[in-house]
A and B are shown apart, each in its own frame.
Chain A
Amino acid sequence: MAAPLVIDAALSKMGILRLVPHHMSKVTPVFSFCKQGLSTENQDELYRQITVEVKGHNPAVLNSYQKFTMMAAEELGVNITKIFEPPRVITRMSLMKSVFVHKKHFHQYEMRTLYRVFEFKNLTGSTASMFLEYIQRNMPEGVAMKVTKHQLERFPEHLKHPSKLRDKTEESLSNSLESPDSSSLGSNSESGSMQSIKPSSSLSSAHISSKSSKTTPLDVK
Chain B
Amino acid sequence: MSLHQVLFRTQPMGCFLHISRGISLSATLAKNRKSGVPKITPFRTKPLTYEEAIPPSRMNVRKGWLSFNTSNLHEEKRAGETTFEDFLVRRFLTGTWHGSLASEVVIKRRHNMLVLSFLVSMERILPRQVYFLQGYTERMLSGWFKMPVKIELQTVASQKDMIFKKI
Binding site for B on A (CB under 8 A): 1-2, 4-6, 55-57, 89, 91, 111, 113, 136, 139-144
Contacts and interface: CB of A to CB of B under 8 A. Distances in A.
Contacts of B112: 2, 4-5
B109 A55 contact: no
Contact of A6 (B68, B72, B108, B111): B111
Contacts of B68: 141-142
Nearest to A4: B111
Contact of A57 (B72, B108, B113, B115): B72
Looking at B109, B111, B112, B113, the one whose CB has the most chain A CB atoms below 10 A away is B111
A91 B110 CA distance: 24
Interface residues of B, number: 16
Contacts of A89: 74
B74 A141 contact: no
A142 B69 contact: yes
27 contacts: A2-B112, A2-B147, A2-B148, A4-B112, A5-B111, A6-B111, A55-B70, A55-B74, A55-B76, A56-B73, A57-B72, A91-B74, A111-B72, A111-B73, A113-B73, A113-B74, A139-B111, A140-B110, A141-B69, A141-B108, A141-B109, A141-B115, A142-B69, A142-B109, A144-B70, A144-B73, A144-B76
Nearest to B106: A141
Looking at B69, B115, B147, the one whose CB has the most chain A CB atoms below 10 A away is B69
A107 to B, nearest CB: 10
